[in-house]
Chain A
Amino acid sequence: GAVVSQHPSWVICKSGTSVKIECRSLDFQATTMFWYRQFPKQSLMLMATSNEGSKATYEQGVEKDKFLINHASLTLSTLTVTSAHPEDSSFYICSARDEERGVLDTQYFGPGTRLTVL
């Protein structure tokens, strides 16, 4: 099956620093990847759509200057949380769209990255 990896699996940083999270599709190419955030006991909230070779599309209320997304290749998207603050502490999950299956395209999710900002 399609596998998506994330790195790191967890990170602790000081307030004011920037953190980069990588999302890779390991056995398929993905022109589109998605970034979600999940707070404890809550559902996943879509943050942005990452498009290979073009700018990301952000959901309403998500600051694009704070959450920088780069999708430089067909297998890698990165999310950088800039000037992180404690309220940015959350579980960040990426997904990749397996477009080779045509209409029945399905998103496959990474294992998530736990970010804790002190």
Chain B
Amino acid sequence: LAKTTQPISMDSYEGQEVNITCSHNNIATNDYITWYQQFPSQGPRFIIQGYKTKVTNEVASLFIPADRKSSTLSLPRVSLSDTAVYYCLGGPGSSNTGKLIFGQGTTLQVKP
């Protein structure tokens, strides 16, 4: 399972674009990169998942360079309600266990 490294915290203001970068140097060939969002006292919510290049959905974009050693979650025009912890995970790919190991995550604070 890929070990991931993210900034512990980030601050932003409403309306700005926020980019959170995650490092996963030992990601396996079959691993996908998945981002989750977690609000206090709630379970994590799936945001986006990708393997390489760029993936976009109604919530965010995910940029993965060709070497796949890092990825960047991009949140366009954040609002106060985007204040949360964001987790980047590598895996489980074709692993039969399907296990996901959470790192520390990035606490995003959006200010008015």
Contacts and interface: CB of A to CB of B under 8 A. Distances in A.
A43 B103 contact: yes
Contacts of B100: 34, 46, 95, 107
B43 A112 contact: yes
> In this complex, which of B32, B34, B46, B98 has the most chain A Cβ atoms within 10 angstroms of its Cβ?
B98
Given A105-B92, A106-B46, A46 B41 contact: no
Contacts of A49: 97-99
A32 B98 CA distance: 8
A112 B42 contact: yes
A32 to B, nearest CB: 5
16 contacts: A1-B46, A4-B43, A32-B98, A36-B102, A44-B87, A46-B101, A49-B98, A91-B41, A93-B44, A97-B98, A103-B93, A104-B49, A107-B100, A109-B45, A111-B42, A112-B41
Contact of A106 (B34, B87, B104): B34
Contacts of B94: 103
Interface string B41-76: 111111001000000000000000000000000000
A106 B101 CA distance: 13
Given A46-B101, A111-B43, 6 more contacts: A1-B46, A34-B100, A43-B103, A46-B100, A97-B98, A105-B98
> In this complex, which of A93, A106, A110 has the most chain B Cβ atoms within 10 angstroms of its Cβ?
A106
Contact of A114 (B41, B45, B87, B93): B41
B90 interface: no
Interface in A55-90: 57
A111 B103 CA distance: 19
A104 B42 contact: no
A28 interface: no
Nearest to A45: B102
A52 to B, nearest CB: 13
B58 to A, nearest CB: 12
